[in-house]
C-alpha cells in the first residue's frame, strides 16, 4: 500500500480484558478494524479520479490490509490505499507500458510542481508543467472516520460479547 499520511481512529478495548488469549484479542481487533476500513475503502473508490489513460486503474487498486499490531498496546490497525501488486498494461499510441497506480497515487492526491525531466541518455531535458492535486483519500477518510469508528466499535463489542459467552460456556462444563 502506498503511504499517503497516517490517520487514526482509537477504540476502547477495555472489554477485551475478559478475553484471555492475546491471539484471540488480536483476531477480534483485526475483524473490527477491517469493518471500519471497508467504509473508508468504498468512499475512496467513489472519490478516486478516473483517468482515460488507465481506465480507472487507481479506483480498482484501492484495497485494505489489516495488520497485527506489534508495538505497545496496539492490537491491530488497517491500511487503506492503492495495492502495490496491482498493475495494468496501458497503450498510448503504439507504445504499451506498465502502469502501477500505487506508484502515482501520492502525486494524484497532492499534485506536483513544474519540474524538469531528463529523457534517457542524450535525450535532453523536457519541462514538465506539473499536475494539479485531486484529493480523494483524505476527503474519503474525513467523510467516513465517524462511521468507521462506530462500525469498529460495534464489531468489537459484538465479538467481545461472543467470546465472553463462549468462555463462560467452557467454564461451566
Dump pLDDT digits (tens) for 9-21. Answer: 666 565 555 556 7
pLDDT single digits (tens) 78-122: 999 999 998 888 888 898 888 898 998 999 999 999 999 998 888
pLDDT single digits (tens) 25-43: 888 899 999 999 999 999 9
pLDDT at 9: 63
Identify whether the C-beta of residue 99 lies closer than 8 Å to the C-beta of residue 76.
no
pLDDT at 131: 92
pLDDT at 160: 87
More confident position, 55 or 138 = 138
The C-alpha atoms of residue 107 and residue 128 are separated, in whole angstroms, by 13
pLDDT at 116: 94
The answer to whether the predicted template modeling score (pTM) of the entire model surpasses 0.75 is yes
The C-alpha atoms of residue 81 and residue 7 are separated, in whole angstroms, by 12
User: In DSSP terms, which residues pair with 63 in a beta bridge?
Assistant: 81
> Is the pLDDT assigned to residue 147 strictly greater than 60?
yes
Identify whether the C-beta of residue 139 lies closer than 8 Å to the C-beta of residue 35.
no
pLDDT at 62: 94
Amino acid at each position: 500500500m502506498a503511504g499517503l499520511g497516517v490517520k487514526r481512529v482509537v477504540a476502547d478495548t477495555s472489554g477485551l480484558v475478559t478475553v484471555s488469549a492475546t491471539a484471540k484479542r488480536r483476531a477480534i481487533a483485526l475483524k473490527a478494524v477491517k469493518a471500519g476500513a471497508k467504509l473508508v475503502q468504498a468512499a475512496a473508490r467513489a472519490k478516486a479520479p478516473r483517468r482515460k489513460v488507465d481506465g480507472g486503474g487507481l479506483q480498482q487498486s484501492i484495497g485494505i490490509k489489516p495488520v497485527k499490531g506489534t508495538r505497545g498496546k496496539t492490537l491491530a490497525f488497517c491500511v487503506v490505499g492503492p495495492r502495490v501488486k496491482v498493475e495494468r498494461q496501458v497503450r498510448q499510441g503504439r507504445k504499451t507500458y506498465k502502469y502501477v497506480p500505487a506508484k502515482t497515487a501520492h502525486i494524484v492526491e497532492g499534485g506536483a510542481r513544474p519540474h524538469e525531466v531528463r529523457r534517457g541518455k542524450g535525450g535532453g531535458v523536457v519541462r514538465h508543467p506539473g499536475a494539479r492535486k485531486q484529493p480523494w483519500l483524505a476527503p474519503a477518510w474525513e467523510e467516513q472516520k465517524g462511521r468507521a469508528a462506530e462500525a469498529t466499535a460495534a464489531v468489537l463489542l459484538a465479538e467481545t460479547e461472543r467470546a465472553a459467552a463462549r468462555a463462560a460456556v467452557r467454564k461451566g462444563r
